[in-house]
Structure 1
Amino acid sequence: MRPNFSQEKIFIAFERIVLMRTIYVVTCGTSILTNGASETDRIFLRENANKLEQDYSPEERDRLENIAASRRETLLGESDEARICRCSAELNGFLNYRRTSPAAQNSAGDMAYFVCTDTFQGKLTARILADWSRKRGMAADVVKVEDLNTASVESFHRGVNNLIEWCRTTLSAARESGSRIVFNLIGGFKTLQGYMQTLGMIYADEIFYIFESGHEIITIPRLPLDISSAAQKAIRTHLAVVRRMNYRDLPAAECAGLPETMLTVMDGQCILSVWGKVIFDEVKKELYQEKLQPPMIDSFEFSPGAKNDAEKLDPQQRRRLNDAIDNFGACLETGQNLQRLDFRALKGNPKPPSTHEFNIWSTQNGWRAFCHYEQDRRKWVIDRFAVGIGH
């Protein structure tokens, strides 16, 4: 008998959930290396936990790689799920989640990103887990986050910033294409898990943990993010400061007026906290669509022609334009010419008075910004926004 309309809608919705591609973001600890290791190997692993690959002596490197190779062979040769769960905290979570979640029963087409520190142990662990996933028919990739380690507070904060950028570029695009994002936060060190919980409020459809019993799953659905009007007002009021803090630190005195939860203060300097970056990313989705935002530093300005070009763009294009202007400002202040910016001198004299160009977007009919430097005013002038030369 054909189901009635309401039953059919329920069936279609259930089918869509089951067939939807799931992307797992897995924070990696080192349990696959330590579980089952001898006491002397455990001591060795613990004493060298924060070392980068280049910090190991040849003898230490050989020892660590031998430990990893042995654990990999054991894991990939194991078929009993109970023993696999005892080998790895991360896989213990995944296998129990798959057992209890209808959406995880069929992993065909799914993807797993294993997020690890930039330590040698972290990288080896993630590689082993990715190999196990591929053997089970799931696509997998290792995300080694630069500077993500606990060697110092400064390094860790740089690493978190790199992690946020990866989430923003990779996971946002995946969600927009219809993928379901699930955070597996069972592995990894506690400090990282705290930050990932915050990021999960934005980028994940679901977060899961293991209960103290060791096999019961706790899931947290995606919660609506309610950014207070006070935070939105503070960002709009201090927009230039917030935009600059997205790529550099500033003296604490310049950050007065912003909520403390948005800031991380170290040695009298302020950077955006993880929560601050998350809030700014959400607020600027609307803010950057409204108009071409004023320059955040005095080193450049827009010509009337450039302002007129910006007014002709649709909201999504204006958002991408403002993101590109942020990259340009960062380049002028820090000297970092990002690949996606591609700031460079023009060949010949194709668009006078412009002498330089940088990328706004590089898809079909890619747009560039054309600009020149006025030496007497010590200022860059962005002359026009237009289709790139040769497009």
Structure 2
Amino acid sequence: MSNTNVQIFDTTLRDGEQVPGCKLNTEQKVIIAEQLDLLGVDIIEAGFPVSSPGDFASVEAVSKIVKNATVCGLTRSVENDIKVAAEALKYAKKPRIHTGIGTSDSHIKFKFRSNREAIIERAVAAVRYAKSFVEDVEFYAEDAGRTDNEFLAKVCEEVIKAGATVLNIPDTTGYCLPQEYGAKIKFLKENVKGIDKAILSCHCHNDLGLATANSIEGAINGARQIECTINGIGERAGNTALEEVVMIMKQHPYLNLDTNINTPMLYDLSQLVSDHMGIYAQPNKAIVGANAFAHSSGIHQDGVIKNRETYEIIDPKDVGVTESAIVLTARSGRAALAYRAKNVGYELTKLQLDVVYKDFLKFADAKKEVLDNDIHTIIESSSIYNELR
């Protein structure tokens, strides 16, 4: 892997599926996994095999059909979890076991009723056991965002010695500010002995709307894997959105970070995941939302019609959207009306446009959006219609 390449670890099928009411069956997981593989993600986290027979079957089925990506199964730091995951992954061309434990004082005290030394022992034992089944072992330090950096570095050192190939540094509660999360990654990069033997990974949650910013800041500071989901779906407020981090890196070449993602597939894959999960991206969602390339303000519409880059930093085709949308509303100007009228067969002169525009505004005031059929109605009832026939 080049030093500029950031691996994309997709957890739509595991963390993304933890949205209440969004359970996927095995067939659906296979359909999505095939598309994720074509998209170019580096790792597909297919599920949590020990959690249910259905999840075990799904991880096994995904392992059989994925051709290029690493297939990953999640476990706790429990031997049976790890053994079951290894069994589910036995058909994978490139299997990975993802094991770990909480490392923050809050998790240690209240969740595990334990102490730091015992947590390190459990972490090391889990990685060693996972390593007896697969070469590629990822360790997650749950709630790393609220874990003391010195202790987190110690945990990382010990699991690297035990054979961990990837270190997942989750901001489990979405609490970190970008500079705090970036500084944490930088600290680990500079202070963990043997860090050159492992990849640092960002796994950020969106409780404060900072998941994407935190992940990018982590990558800037040395992380070379980002864990994310299509549409940013996931537990509570969701995860880092795959489409967002990928396009940020693509649109900011000076970051010197790149991925293997085939970006023109993003929009269709967003729709596929939405359809199977029954949860749709909000219209103003970055990159894949229905309004991401839609313009309704007259000033914006005029600018986009003259030159798309006036108000769009991404070419819609780069993410699989056919074209920008000029949406006619009461806020639209003459340029937008002329543009849309031309699309449905009316080439209006300036004088004709002035007449039709007055009728258009009256119509638009009574309706949220003026559609193509409405344009026909407006023009056909106008005094200039005979001139156009």
Q: Is TM-score (shorter-chain normalized) higher than 0.5?
A: no
Greater fraction strand: 1
TM-score, normalisation: structure 1: 0.28
TM-score, normalisation: structure 2: 0.28
Higher RCO, Cα 8 Å, sep 6+: 2
